[in-house]
Chain A
Amino acid sequence: MLNIGRETVISYAFIERNFNLLKRYLNWEILFFSYSIVNALTIGLIMVGRGSSQDVLYLVIGALIWGFLSIMMREVSDAITWERWEGTIEYTFMAPIYRITHLVGSCLFAILYGLLRTGLVLAIMPFFFGEHIDLGSANWLTMAVTVAVSSLSFIGIGLMAAIFPLLSPEKGQAATGILQSVLLLISGIYYEIEVLPEWLQPLSKISPATYTLRSIRAAMLENASVESQAGNLLLLLIIGIVLIPLGFWVFHLAEKYAKRVGRLKRSG
């Protein structure tokens, strides 16, 4: 029987471990953080002098939100890859914990880490863009609600992506990268999905990032309220409610397969 209190305490082990790793690899973190800033800047600067401040913000939002959603999607998968490389996955799988506890711990870390990194990048943006971006009409509540609801879908995708490194750390990272790049292409991160070839547009409609970007842009550019985005938010919630259990189930099947064919070991 699942003891929620005990499992919550145990899931903290993964959060603490990942923050400890983050501290130890601080040089890499500084590099990734700098890259996120430069990426958002270079993309936003494309529009400076060519379009309005709204156009600049349109692109900056794309860069920031894609950065956040990418962290949501990659972090669980990266944690599994890391454990496979270090060989600790056998010890995690041998521990008396439910897989849901393990994965929820990794997901909570992804949310905290994603918020921290994206928040810092967002805070820095006004220093570079000055009057070229105007956050005066932003509806922060709508943005926060959209980020919270869309995180569910991306965690679901992240759980499914985590099966790739579980089965093969080398090929798994590449597979996660391919999935991520397809979402980047189809989800209207830096453009409206209508500019995509018609045959690609149906795919955009099933990507949660499409609705996330739509609502966040409406909130930041047009001061849209939570109520006005109810349709998008409901859709995101439904995608999340479907994808999270599906992600756990797919991961469970992959774990069973790995235990059947002997894919968990590093050596020996």
Chain B
Amino acid sequence: MVGRKVGQPIYGLTVRDVTKHFHRTKKSDEKLRFHQKIYRLFKREKETIRAVDGISLDVNIGEIYGILGANGSGKSTLIRLISTLLLPDAGSIHVFGDDVVTHSMKVRRVMNRVSVEASFFKRLSSAENLVYAARLYGISSTEAKKRARNILERLGFEAKRMDEEMEQLSRGMQQKVAIARALLTTPMLLLLDEPTTGLDPKSKRDVQTFIEEIRDERNAVIVLTTHDMAEAERLCDRLAIIDNGKFIAEGTVKELIAKAPPQNDTPVTLEDVFIALTGKDLEEEGT
């Protein structure tokens, strides 16, 4: 256990003042002369993007913590920072008391992630992809197949299709395989980065029901990023709204709804809160 004072509670996930900036080449709309283009090739102007800007959060064991935000608001960068794929510029992240930078190996053993892109070797079958992923965690091929079949069947994926190449499967089915890949390793911290984006209503419902089952069965910590207000309301115990890399509100759905200005006839929804706080519409910005 690193960075914890005696008597301080151990959260499943603790993020403190984490900041991540990226430097990108500035794109210019102005029409340039030939010599200016050549000059720009050698002296590119950089701009700094504050992808995550001083974020702090604590997630308890057995809790689903939601992060609501538009595209480019910093959700995925935060997930990558937690999952050791990015190094923070400032701040600290602890998973069950272990620092993700200095104790990355220990953290990786208890964590897994599902991203919006179901990244696989497209020409391999789902069984081959899952066995490969499981072996990296020291799980044997037989055990991996057994666990995968169990998880996929619960997600409504026919086990007989496990030998089909990934590219033959629909987006929804691929995402179910991605969820199976993450759960094969029985993670204590599950990072779900827009797991239902782009799925058909049935697949979406299957995945959401499964997330609820996981919460009820295991004492895992689940962080869920989403665009979908209904999903956030259904699944999350607590929520944060992220905009331009900053958390601008945090609380239960009830607490967040209380932050929106009251309306005359219709009840206030989470979407109203989001628009009131960010000035943005998720549907326009996002999916």
Contacts and interface: CB of A to CB of B under 8 A. Distances in A.
B85 interface: yes
B138 A9 contact: yes
19 contacts: A10-B135, A13-B136, A16-B132, A21-B121, A24-B123, A24-B124, A90-B83, A91-B119, A94-B85, A94-B113, A256-B87, A259-B85, A259-B87, A260-B87, A262-B77, A262-B80, A264-B86, A265-B85, A266-B117
B124 A96 contact: no
B214 interface: no
Nearest to B107: A96
A259 to B, nearest CB: 5
A96 B165 contact: no
B80 A265 contact: yes
B181 interface: yes
Contacts of B193: 268
A25 interface: yes
Given A259-B86, A262-B86, A21 B124 contact: yes
Interface in A66-85: 82
Contacts of B76: 265, 268
A8 to B, nearest CB: 11
Given A24-B165, A262-B22, A265-B80, A88 B121 contact: yes
A35 interface: no
Interface in A19-34: 20-21, 24-25
A91 B133 CA distance: 8
Nearest to B101: A259
Interface of A, helix, strand, loop or mixed by DSSP? helix
Interface of A: 6, 9-10, 12-13, 16-17, 20-21, 24-25, 82, 86-88, 90-98, 256, 259-262, 264-268
A20 B181 contact: no
Interface in B173-192: 181
Given A16-B131, A268-B116, 7 more contacts: A9-B135, A20-B128, A86-B119, A86-B120, A94-B84, A256-B87, A264-B80
B204 interface: no
B85 A90 contact: yes
Interface string B125-141: 00010011101111000
Interface string B152-175: 000000000000010000000000
Nearest to B110: A96
A17 B132 contact: yes
Most chain A CB within a 10 A radius of its CB, from B115, B131, B136, B194: B136
B199 to A, nearest CB: 15
Given A94-B83, A260-B87, A268 B117 contact: yes
Contacts of A265: 76, 80, 85
A18 to B, nearest CB: 10
B117 A267 contact: yes
Interface string B92-108: 00000000000001001
A180 B275 CA distance: 55
B205 interface: no
A25 B121 CA distance: 12
A268 B120 contact: no
Given A21-B121, A24-B123, A262-B22, A96 B86 contact: no
A90 B76 CA distance: 13
B115 A268 contact: yes
Contacts of B138: 6, 9-10
B122 interface: yes
